[in-house]
Structure 1
Amino acid sequence: MDFTMGKAAAGLRGELRELVAENVPADFLGAFTDDPADLETAQGFCRVLAERGLLCLAWPEEYGGAGASVWEQTVVREEMWAHHEPRGAQYMGVNWVGPTIMRHGTAEQRSRHLPPIARGEVIWCQGFSEPDAGSDLASLRTAARRDGDGWRISGQKIWTSYATMAQWCFLLARTSKQEKKQQGLTIFLVPMSDPAIEVRPIDCMMGPHHLNEVFFDDLKVTEADVLGDVDGGWKVVQEVLSFERVGIARYARCERLLRLAPEVLGDRWDDLPDELRGRWAGALTRCRRARLLAYQVVAAQDRGAVRPGDAAAYRIAVTKLDQESAEVLMEIVGSAPPDGEQGRIFRREVEDHWRYAQASTVASGSIEVQRILLARAMLAAS
């Protein structure tokens, strides 16, 4: 198995790493901190990528992309996540909001929404989870009712990342009651600037912007804001979630930090307990497993046939890896605190990785739900 994907991919990786080194501070830990400069760093870096045609590399040229392969886009995804996602929240628009609008949007929606995403100018948030409808998303209560030639939407969403900074929301609401709860759901593309929308941040250890409550108080939308068919939103959501779950290359950051540990510790690496170094090696091995599972889903996406079981298997493996690698790395820096500027930055990276990892088996669909999806797929194939 050639994990480098060939010379072209290696060249792309080199170019991306050079751009990160030139445009992103060495101690950057993501856009969503208490320092507004970090968000501006991400927004500026998105513009750099867009100018070089690298932000939406695999998008068709007509939508602002470069028409590259999904494998080249995978390289971008891996390098970005390995370096604390210097695109900020743009990965959401690039990985699945934009492609979903391409497949299900009207010509007007494509012309309105895709160019700003491709230029790195707009941030999206996802209005899915609710207080009583998280893992069981189809039980949501946010409702859209007919009002003349449009709709009125009322309800509440929760755990909505980036809602404080987003300009648009990819919103799922109930438009009718039918026999199955998965039926009667519709997707709306709504501007977050509307005064009928209120955002309340939720404090958490991951920092600002990650978790928010969003309230919709009689929000007026039109038919032009409906994505796809009315009452047909669940089919689109299933597609979206498959793209979202493979869209974050968590294994890339795990592998970079694990490989960096011996370099940062130097001679003190050999003083670590054999048991701890054994766990470190095991975590590296499982990085490769998660990468292969991700590539299996990417290949299926390229064929236009994503299977929920494959996406679930990857999600289980990569979120468990996230937590395992975080625990191993925290023990390493605790057993042999690294020295110098590189050591200081590495320690902060590890601590940041650990904080994010605590939520990994819950975010974007809990690991329990992923196991159910995988079990159903295996039983259906047996």
Structure 2
Amino acid sequence: MDFEMSGEAVALRHELRDLVREHVRDDFLGAFTADPADLETAQAFCRLLAERGLLCMSWPPEFGGRGSTPWEQTVVREEMWAHHEPRGAQYMGVNWVGPTLMRHGTPEQQRKHLPPIASGEVIWCQGFSEPEAGSDLASLRTTATRDGDGWRINGQKIWTSYATMAQWCFLLARTSRGEKKQRGLTIFLVPMDDPAITVRPIGAMLGPHHLNEVFFDDLRVTEADVLGTVDDGWSIVQNVLSFERVGIARYARCERLLHMAPDALGDRWDALPAELRARWARMLVHCRRARLLAYRVVALQASGEVKPTDSAAYRIAVTKLDQDSAEVLMEIVAAIPPDPSSAAETYRLEVEDHWRYSQASTVSSGSIEMQRILLARTLVSTR
């Protein structure tokens, strides 16, 4: 495998870093804080990327992209996550909602939804998990029932990120029952401003706006809101998850924060225990491993050969890296004396934010236990 980036990709990385330095505050820790200015920073940065053709680079030109290589889009993904995702929630629309619509959407759905995503003007949320259907997603209870020329949807979703600010929801509901629970599921594209939808935020240490409960009470939708074939939504879900699980370049933020540690500590770096510095070096090696696994999945996606087990192997490695590196970094910043005016204090806040976010990484988008089961089953069946 040779995943050496091209000269164009290297130049793009420098361009993105310059844009972040120029348009995003040094103390920016994400869009979903209690300060509305952080969300506006992200929305403005999205529009800037869109104007420069950098938001959806790998999308075909007819859908608002530049037809760039998956590797250039990977560079965007890495630089955005490394700098606390100044695109806000847009990665969801860019990484998997848009590509899924290109594969499964009608021409009308593509004309309606793709241009707002490509221009950075719309936020999507994902209506998958439920109180009794998380890792076992196919056990969901939200139902969509035929009602004349449309459908009525009733049920509850939970852990729905960005639901308080999203304009659209990519919703999975049960439309029929059969012998296999994976059959009879359908995807609906639902406007979040419908009065039949209620959103209740869930308090968490990640901060406001991250997690929510969403209730659907006789939500009326039409056939035009159905994505793909009725009762065959599970095949779309599998496609979505393979894009989603590689779509967040967690290793990029880990690697950036690890590389920053010696400069942030200055003279105190040499005074750290040798064992801690050895663990720091080991985390850098693990960053490289996760990066190469991600690149392998990107290469397979580009050739149309990616399997759920490919993204599962990457997911296991990168979520463990997220948590293990966060623990090492928290021990390192403990050596920095409090000083709100110092650059080291900004670094400490970055590390603490990384630690908080990492705690859920082995659960979100499919738990690490389910990824291991999927991987093990595949390995056994191929023996």
What TM-score range do you get, normalising by the shorter chain?
over 0.9
Give the superposition deviation at 1:255.
Answer: 0.1
> Do the aligned partners of 2:268 and 2:335 also contact (CA within 8 Å) in 1?
no
Distance in 1 (alpha carbons) for counterparts of 2:246 and 2:295: 9
Tell me if 1:40 matches 2:40. Answer: yes
SS in 1 for 2:371: helix
Q: Which residue of the partner structure matches residue 360 of structure 2?
A: 359
Q: Which residue of the partner structure matches residue 143 of structure 2?
A: 143
Which amino acid is the alignment partner of residue 347 of structure 2?
F
Q: Which residue of the partner structure matches residue 283 of structure 1?
A: 283
Tell me if 1:117 matches 2:117. Answer: yes
Distance in 2 (alpha carbons) for counterparts of 1:137 and 1:37: 35
Distance in 2 (alpha carbons) for counterparts of 1:338 and 1:381: 55
> Do the aligned partners of 2:255 and 2:287 also contact (CA within 8 Å) in 1?
yes
SS in 1 for 2:351: helix
Gaps of at least 5 residues in structure 1 are none
Q: Which residue of the partner structure matches residue 226 of structure 1?
A: 226
Distance in 2 (alpha carbons) for counterparts of 1:176 and 1:377: 28
> Do the aligned partners of 1:81 and 1:248 also contact (CA within 8 Å) in 2?
yes
> Do the aligned partners of 2:90 and 2:123 also contact (CA within 8 Å) in 1?
yes
> Do the aligned partners of 2:127 and 2:172 also contact (CA within 8 Å) in 1?
yes
Distance in 2 (alpha carbons) for counterparts of 1:2 and 1:70: 15
Q: Which stretches of structure 1, 4 residues or more, deviate above 2 A after TM superposition?
A: 1-4, 335-341
Q: Which moves more between the two structures, 82-91 or 297-306?
A: 297-306
1:77-96 matched pairs, under 5 angstroms = 77-96=77-96
Tell me if 1:319 matches 2:319. Answer: yes
Distance in 1 (alpha carbons) for counterparts of 2:219 and 2:338: 53
Q: Which residue of the partner structure matches residue 210 of structure 2?
A: 210
Q: TM-score by structure 2 length?
A: 0.98
Distance in 2 (alpha carbons) for counterparts of 1:320 and 1:189: 33
Which amino acid is the alignment partner of residue 368 of structure 1?
E
Which amino acid is the alignment partner of residue 29 of structure 2?
L
Residues 195-238 of structure 1 show CA distances to partners (whole Å, capped at 9, x for unaligned) of 00000000000001111000000000000000000000000000
The sequence identity of aligned pairs, in percent, is 77
Distance in 2 (alpha carbons) for counterparts of 1:287 and 1:191: 39
Distance in 1 (alpha carbons) for counterparts of 2:2 and 2:276: 28
Q: Which residue of the partner structure matches residue 244 of structure 1?
A: 244
Q: Which residue of the partner structure matches residue 73 of structure 2?
A: 73
Q: Which residue of the partner structure matches residue 29 of structure 1?
A: 29
Corresponding pairs, count: 382
Q: Which residue of the partner structure matches residue 196 of structure 1?
A: 196
SS in 2 for 1:121: coil
Q: Which residue of the partner structure matches residue 257 of structure 1?
A: 257
Give the superposition deviation at 1:381.
Answer: 2.2
Distance in 2 (alpha carbons) for counterparts of 1:269 and 1:49: 37
Change in 2 beyond 3 A, CA 1:281/1:338: farther
Give the superposition deviation at 1:110.
Answer: 0.1
> Do the aligned partners of 2:336 and 2:344 also contact (CA within 8 Å) in 1?
no
Give the superposition deviation at 1:6.
Answer: 2.5
Q: Which residue of the partner structure matches residue 97 of structure 2?
A: 97
Which amino acid is the alignment partner of residue 195 of structure 1?
P
Give the superposition deviation at 1:376.
Answer: 1.4
Residues 97-152 of structure 1 show CA distances to partners (whole Å, capped at 9, x for unaligned) of 00000000000000000000000000000000000000000000000000000000
SS in 2 for 1:330: helix
Distance in 2 (alpha carbons) for counterparts of 1:336 and 1:3: 37
1:258-273 matched pairs, under 5 angstroms = 258-273=258-273
SS in 2 for 1:169: strand
> Do the aligned partners of 1:58 and 1:70 also contact (CA within 8 Å) in 2?
yes
> Do the aligned partners of 2:152 and 2:218 also contact (CA within 8 Å) in 1?
yes
Distance in 2 (alpha carbons) for counterparts of 1:377 and 1:10: 36
> Do the aligned partners of 1:330 and 1:350 also contact (CA within 8 Å) in 2?
yes
Give the superposition deviation at 1:335.
Answer: 2.6
SS in 2 for 1:335: coil
> Do the aligned partners of 1:308 and 1:377 also contact (CA within 8 Å) in 2?
no
Give the superposition deviation at 1:380.
Answer: 2.4
Distance in 1 (alpha carbons) for counterparts of 2:22 and 2:198: 38
Distance in 2 (alpha carbons) for counterparts of 1:165 and 1:92: 13
Which amino acid is the alignment partner of residue 98 of structure 1?
G
Residues 234-271 of structure 1 show CA distances to partners (whole Å, capped at 9, x for unaligned) of 00000100100000000000000000000111121110
Distance in 2 (alpha carbons) for counterparts of 1:69 and 1:41: 27
1:292-303 matched pairs, under 5 angstroms = 292-303=292-303
Q: Which residue of the partner structure matches residue 373 of structure 1?
A: 374
Which amino acid is the alignment partner of residue 218 of structure 1?
D
Distance in 2 (alpha carbons) for counterparts of 1:162 and 1:337: 35
Change in 2 beyond 3 A, CA 1:284/1:260: same
Tell me if 1:159 matches 2:159. Answer: yes
Give the superposition deviation at 1:4.
Answer: 5.3
Q: Which residue of the partner structure matches residue 347 of structure 1?
A: 348
Distance in 1 (alpha carbons) for counterparts of 2:198 and 2:251: 35
Distance in 1 (alpha carbons) for counterparts of 2:126 and 2:187: 11
Distance in 2 (alpha carbons) for counterparts of 1:144 and 1:6: 48
SS in 2 for 1:113: helix
Give the superposition deviation at 1:3.
Answer: 6.1
Give the superposition deviation at 1:337.
Answer: 3.7
Which amino acid is the alignment partner of residue 361 of structure 2?
S
Distance in 1 (alpha carbons) for counterparts of 2:369 and 2:162: 25
Which amino acid is the alignment partner of residue 67 of structure 1?
G
Residues 2-37 of structure 1 show CA distances to partners (whole Å, capped at 9, x for unaligned) of 765132111000000000011100100000000000
Which amino acid is the alignment partner of residue 44 of structure 1?
A
- Tell me how large the CA RMSD over aligned residues is: 1.0
Give the superposition deviation at 1:304.
Answer: 1.1
> Do the aligned partners of 1:245 and 1:364 also contact (CA within 8 Å) in 2?
yes
